Amino acid sequence: MDRLTAALRRLQGPLDLDAVRGVEGDAAHVYFSVFDHLIIRNKEDFFFRSRNRRPPLDRINCLLSFLYTLLMHDVRSALECVGLDPAVGYLHRDRPGRSGLALDMMEEFRPMADRLALSMVNLGQMKAKGFTISKGGGVRMDDDTRKTLLTTYQKRKQDVLLHPFLGEKMPLGLFFHTQALLFARFLRDDLDGYPPVILR
């Protein structure tokens, strides 16, 4: 917590983009270095050593990658609905076919995906037999596991929360559109700053 607090302090000063990316990378390393401690059930099958993808090399990374993909698509759709180009980002480097702005904005929603993955494992909703490991070490979900994950994700988006900036209660799934709208208003000088959502 001290190291993450220090990272937040570093971001208060004037930094160039590469320095901001460096702070984010350090903070992500610290965050994921303790992620395995949050898994309290069936640790033989569900464990986390480091973040990996394309392909994910363990069941937790498989869950995270799938949830992050769902999240990115929801955020990308929200950005398009308010007239913003999801490919033109600030923090993620521009690459052909990459939704840089969607990846930027989904950062504030990653805790939702992380918490969902951890809850489903810790509550026993995820079973080891629902995943297959290829000869190359890549891990994939079977159809039933994917369906369970999709259903739980959609239910989570229906949870009603208080939006900290607007002071209104709304389904979590509406937060994506609300944040995209607030960001568009900020870009158009209708707001003095962009108010990110910090999910607790």
* 184 pLDDT higher than 90: yes
Question: Is 47 found in the same domain as 28?
Answer: no
* 181 pLDDT higher than 90: yes
**Residue 87: CATH number of its domain:** 1.20.120.920
pLDDT score of 119: 95
How many domains is the chain partitioned into structurally? 2
Q: How many angstroms separate the CA atoms of 159 and 121, rounded?
A: 20
Q: What is the pLDDT of residues 108-144, one digit of tens each?
A: 999 999 999 999 999 999 999 999 999 888 999 999 9
Q: How many angstroms separate the CA atoms of 82 and 185, rounded?
A: 10
* 58 pLDDT higher than 80: yes
160 contacts 170 by C-beta, under 8 angstroms: yes
pLDDT score of 145: 95
Question: Is 160 found in the same domain as 79?
Answer: yes
Give the pLDDT mean for 43-48.
90
27 contacts 110 by C-beta, under 8 angstroms: no
User: Residue 115: which domain range?
Assistant: 42-187
Give the pLDDT mean for 41-47.
89
Question: Is 121 found in the same domain as 74?
Answer: yes
Question: Is 158 found in the same domain as 101?
Answer: yes
Q: What is the pLDDT of residues 72-110, one digit of tens each?
A: 999 999 999 999 999 888 887 777 778 889 999 999 999
Question: Is 63 found in the same domain as 141?
Answer: yes
200 found inside a domain = no
pTM: 0.89
Question: Is 89 found in the same domain as 10?
Answer: no
